[in-house]
Structure 1
Amino acid sequence: MAKANNKLSKTIRPSGSRHLSIDGGLIRAYLTDAMESMDPSDIQALLIKSQINPRSLDTTGARIPFEKVSKAFNRFRLFLNDEELGRFERPVRSGYFRLMLLAATHTESLFEALQRITEFRNVATGTLLHTLSKEGSQVICYITQQPNQKIVSPGALDFYLSGIVRILSWLGNQPLTPRIVRLSFPPPGYEFEYRYLYYGASVLFNQPNNSVSFDQDSLSVRVVQTEDSLKKYLRQSPRDLFFPRYIGGSTTESVRNKIREDLEVEQKISTLESISEFLFCGPQTLRRRLQAEGTNFHDIKLQVRRDISIHLLSKEDRSIEDISEAVGYTESSNFVRAFKDWTGMTPKKFRKRT
């Protein structure tokens, strides 16, 4: 296997996690299954030991420092003696996650790693069935609640789907952005966190299934992590294992926001030159900054156009021609081809399914 380098840490990790914070609602969602089986006094004690005000989990807009959340997760896991935090019928013994990742590091490609991960999860849990399906140019991972088993929370479904994205990104040592994420539940209060949970992918709610889809080509990336790099990864658990890893950086976010503003407000298509001028730098400088953050201008622009297209198709009753024009296509036929490349289906078929 190829040797891992520090590209991922440079492209998606900030200068220091101590400055990061997470929405309290997301933490409650991730801990819901654990807290259902615990006495309220024990819950409060574990949170206070982690320097977290228990009320912050239910306070709209409350933010909790990243490192405190990591400590809380470790304490809850030790208290329950359950690596999966009460999400299944039976506790999962400590070491399961390490063995799953260890097996994944001995695969050749991200697709093989995804197969290995789903096999491990199906054996360990029994409550959620993970299945893979190749549909056109996409590989879709479905997570299905098994009958006559404990009903897992929406937070648990989020946890496992986003976990697949982060694990594969680590294994390939580069951010892996899904095509589309489908969730069976309504938008939660922490919806804005999804841009980090799923690396900016489009997320659809109230869907008939829970799934995450990837470009088939993106899963051909080689696995570069090893047993040695896994040791370091696990030492940072759960900081890197269970919470959003922040893709890109300030330049990526600025470019993405400006492209979206140009389309939605100015009704114009951004160019590398226009964005460079807006950011007071030259085109070559902007290219270098984006490359250092693991992305490029072309990909960001495609992602923004894709996201706006999906939003308009799923939320608003507008014609395909109108949507095509709204995202900068002068010919609707070109938009249809592009949309099919993004999602594996035509806009009309996509609208029917959503």
Structure 2
Amino acid sequence: MSAVVDETAVIALFKAFCGYQESEDEFEEKFVIPKEPIILDKCAQILASGHQKPEIVQKIVLIIERICRLNPSFCCSFFLSKTRGEPCDCLGELIGLLLESEDLGVQQSVYQILGTLFGRDATMNLDDRLNLRQFYAVYFPVIEQALLHAPNTAVNATLLAIELVTAFLPIHQTFLRGVFTAGKLLETLMMKLPMDCVPSVSMVIRCAVIRLLSVGIGLQSSWFSTILVHRGLLRFVYALTTPEILLKDSLLAASLRNFFQWALLNHHIEVLLDVAEKVPNLGIAEITPFSDILQFVREKPASELVEKVVAFFGIPEIERNAGGIGGRTVFGFGEF
């Protein structure tokens, strides 16, 4: 049975911790820092106690967001300790709000909380590394499943979840490489790109997916581009790459050009070879950056391109001599 929380008490707590407004012209911040475990325990209990008024949930989430900004390392350990046998799972409740809340403000606050807790480079801190392992083992699958099965009408939740994955990609490559290699998440997201996909998808979601791809192709490491080419996922990008779309002054056109420009700048050779093969049939050979990609491939001797791919992906000599550039198996890629 859900317990209804006294709204006056929550408002008083919110004002004490997050500041208060004396008048329309004056705002005074009050950084009252009580013992974090006490505050977080109270917030966790309220979220777990059942359905509360939207105003209560909003204020509780804002309090948690403020505490996380003050002490992200402690809060990260606090939330993840709740998965070890204790009944209150505040982090799970927060992720549920991100994916299911009808309040965009609450969803954005949870996005900020997750970014503050886990959007940090954990290579120099063993505790942070262990916390990340637990997050990707216990909580990220919830986000992944939501993206795999989200209805196309859930635009806000889908957009924020994609943006979260995009933000984590450069700093959590070890974890997300496993996610993209073993699962269907990347393919499911890319299936939203074609204009004729059924059911229809919001244009902002298409732009978010292209942004994710641009961040992945912008990595110095080649594993992301390898997945795209080896699994044939670029076909979903080509479905959008038409003169009608590229020549428009739109966010989608800019996002597409940015994606291919990153492939060229980082010399992701297999992607460039694939683009050079497909571009003549798409009627976009004269459009930048595709004209630059074609020129790059034409000016490089075939042997040099093969050598670059070998250096990029570490292909043994015996596989290097298996065939020519035109084949998909020439570079010796096996199943992931």
TM-score (norm 2): 0.29
Q: Which has the larger radius of gyration?
A: 2
Which of the pair is proportionally richer in helix? 2
- Give the structure, 1 or 2, with the largest relative contact order (CA under 8 Å, sep 6 or more): 1
TM norm structure 1: 0.28
